[in-house]
Amino acid sequence: MINDIAEQIKKGSKAGKKEYQFNESHDQNQPANMWFQESDEGLILFIVFYTQACRWSQCLGCNLPSQMSHKHISYKAIISQIDTVFADKKVKARKKRIRKVILSNNGSILDEDTFSSMAFMYLLVHLNMHFPNLALLSIESRIEYIETSELEFIARALAENDTPTQLEIAIGFEAFDDHIRNRVFKKGLTLSRFQRFVKKMAPYKFHLKCYFMQKPVPGISDEEAVLDIKNAIDYLAEIAISYHVKINMHLNPTFAARGTALEKAFLKGRYQPPLLIDTARAAVYSKGKPVSIFIGLYDEGLAVDGGSFIRPGDEKLVEDLEEFNRTQDYSILERIIS
């Protein structure tokens, strides 16, 4: 089975025309990355665990699997990573302030073959023990690994915390346009499949986070990229109303990631990352709609030189967008685009 998964990853990377290498030299007892974010939900701890890479591994502009291993990572190593997180001085100093934790392995946390179930249970215990004011736990996963029975168990465990903790499921949507999402970007997610998933989870009142990338592929204009996000906001608003689900859009302006087709397009002058002012124009469209927005402003150091969405002179703009994330004050976005 382990060899089968490694082969899946290899085939997915080939289908996505990836040219990067996997990070086999990383210390298996250390998480891949973690950082803090500020939002209107309070202080967020974002943890990326080091595991075997995403099995899908096809998405056109994504080089996140390059930070993972091509090989299986044992439950003991993942447990050591969890211990490292909770022993971290910055985490310990903020443990009472942390209101939300986002769990990632740059793939699917709920894929039990790449993220051990035993390690996940160990992680839940530590979240309850160490973060008494945790209000929301967000778990990244492709929907094919999400099982209702598993979500019920997680929700029951979270309810035992000092502060009952709400569960949020975070999935990568990337683009709304079906041709771009599945034929060009190779996401492998249809709207009908997404809606079946929402219908299944709606009775449990779990929250939903959808990751979108602004301008995720070459060949579309900045205006078309903004329109795609607006169409996505309208669609998610309909879903939120129809199924009574709380939805957040995590809007990531796209960067040219090393080892991907986007890097090649960028180096040949056929692709430019979106302007942050256009990200503000897209995000402001959600004002008054039942979809909240968080703007991703961190490329994790994975952009090719010059291929980030943050350009020289954008410092004040980044500060304003971070302030919007903290407050959800749409007047900030309106001021940016005026």
* DSSP characters over 77-141: HHHHHHHHHHH-HHHHHHTTTEEEEEEE-SS-TT-TTTS-HHHHHHHHHHHHHH-TT--EEEEE-
- What average pLDDT is seen over the chain? 95
Cross-strand bridge partners of residue 166: 136
Q: Which amino acid appears at position 52 of this protein?
A: Q
Which DSSP state fits 16? T
pLDDT digits (tens, 9 = 90+) for 266-277: 999 999 999 999
Above 90 in pLDDT, residue 3?
A: no
Q: Are 58 and 188 in contact (CB under 8 A)?
A: yes
CB 223 within 8 A of CB 211: no
* CA pair distance 17, 61, nearest whole angstrom: 10
Q: Which CATH architecture has domain 193-338?
A: 2-Layer Sandwich (3.30)
Task: Say what percent of the chain tops pLDDT 70.
Answer: 99
DSSP track, 154-188: HHHHHHTSSS--EEEEEEEEE-SSHIIIIIIS---
What pLDDT score does 113 carry?
94
Scored b (16 or more CB within 10 A) or e, 186-224 reads bbbbeeeebeebbeebeeeebbbbbbbbbbbbbebebee
Instruction: State whether residue 43 is helix, strand or coil.
Output: strand
Where in the chain are all domains bearing CATH 3.30.750? 193-338
Chain segment 186-232, per-residue pLDDT in tens: 999 999 999 999 999 999 999 999 999 999 999 999 999 999 999 99
Please give the Cα distance from 233 to 219 (Å, whole number): 22
Q: How many CB atoms lie within 10 A of CB 168?
A: 21
Q: How confident is the model at residue 56 (pLDDT cuts 50, 70, 90)?
A: very high
